[in-house]
Amino acid sequence: MALHLHQLSVDAHDHAALARWWADVLGWRIGYEDEFECNVVPPEHTEDPVDDTATWLTGRTSLVFAPVPEGKTIKNRLHIDLAPHIDQDRDAEIEALLAKGATRVDVGQTPDVTWTVLADPEGNEFCVLSSRDR
């Protein structure tokens, strides 16, 4: 059995604003939006049907943001990891995220880790990993 990791759902106070922030960060786009959700999809995403399982399973995961009345209060149990390519300047990418409204976060990581923990504008933690080519 193989299921496709179709989308990752994120609760948000302002779901549309947070979805747009993530779309900008990832270079993705808004695929669908209403008062109940805002879906962020990769650039190649299409609404065309996929006829075979093998192709279906190769599709990239999207993000969906849903409004909730409560704010974030504790560390995420699930988070997003971003990774720059070895040709990219990792520190510059982190600075660009900070300029867009991300903040540095201490979740107990030690100084020798190879990732940087940040939070999006609503406080959801995510990591920028070391540069890699796979």
pLDDT for position 72 = 86
Residue entry with tokens 């496709």: 4
pLDDT for position 1 = 66
CA distances from 17 to 14, 38, 100, 111, 119 (A): 6, 9, 12, 32, 15
User: What distance in Å separates the CA atoms of residue 88 and residue 104, rounded to the nearest whole number?
Assistant: 20
Nearest to 132 by CA among 100, 93, 98, 105: 93
pLDDT for position 86 = 97
Fold adopted by 7-67: 3.30.720
* Contact between 57 and 2 (Cβ < 8 Å): yes
pLDDT for position 105 = 96
pTM as predicted: 0.93
pLDDT for position 73 = 86
Domain locations in the chain as residue ranges: 7-67, 80-128
SS3 content of the chain, % helix, strand, coil (to 5): 20, 25, 55
- In tens, the pLDDT along 21-53 reads 999 999 999 999 999 999 999 999 998 999 999
- Average pLDDT (50-61) is 91
- In tens, the pLDDT along 90-108 reads 999 999 999 999 999 999 9
Sheet holding 62-67, edge to edge: 7-12, 62-67, 38-41, 29-33
